[in-house]
Amino acid sequence: MSEPPVSIWRIALVFNRISLSSFGGGLSAWSRRVVVEEQHWMEEAEFLSAMTLCRVLPGANQVNLAIFVGTKLRGVVGAIAASVGLIAIPALLVVVLGAFLLQSRDVPTVHAILRGITAAAVALSFSMAYRTGRACLHSVPAWLLFAAALLAAAVFRISLLPLLAVLAPLAMWWAWPRPAVS
């Protein structure tokens, strides 16, 4: 017997929790944790494929992911619920916090708080990279592609489009299924 569909309200609340839990950064890590580990709406491989697709498509990665997951769960209405859940309250908070920061931009304590938030966001990003790497990097070619992308982006500051133009075809060639040789 199949499970009843996930309610629209639940989709919106879950994506709202994702956005509020990772306020300041680290959305990919929280999205993976909630969608894969807690809600079991996707398997690890499906999430990684969806996240990769969402990063290549135009627009904000996490909004794209919310639309992807919402559509998978409940179609267009699910996509709208996930997007609104992801964006509505954080957008309001950004407006309120922006007004506060304009009023207190010269206060050293505010700068210290923002540095702490930045450190937490960086840590969440490293956590996501570690978990994703553990799930995907099981061969020498995968590690070489990962190292090339990391060096190109972090050290040589190559932008995304040229990086994808070179590494994406290599990754697709490597991952393409080949017939078994008898």
- Orientation of helix 108-136 relative to helix 44-56, angle to 10°: 120
* Token pair belonging to 22: 């990772």
What average pLDDT is seen over the chain? 88
Phi first, then psi, for residue 65 (nearest 5°) are -65, -40
Mean pLDDT of 106-134: 82
User: In Å, how far are 35, 52, 69, 83, 164 from 14, measured between CA atoms?
Assistant: 9, 21, 11, 11, 32
**Interatomic CA distance for residues 89 and 132, integer angstroms:** 28
The pLDDT tens digits for 138-163 are 888 888 988 898 899 889 999 988 99
Spell out the residues 6+ positions from residue 35 whose beta carbon is closer than 8 angstroms to its own.
18, 41, 42, 47, 69
Residue 83 has pLDDT above 90, yes or no: yes
**Kind and range of the H or E element at 139?**
none
Residue 24 has pLDDT above 70, yes or no: no
**Interatomic CA distance for residues 103 and 96, integer angstroms:** 11
Residue 30 has pLDDT above 70, yes or no: yes
**Interatomic CA distance for residues 15 and 27, integer angstroms:** 10
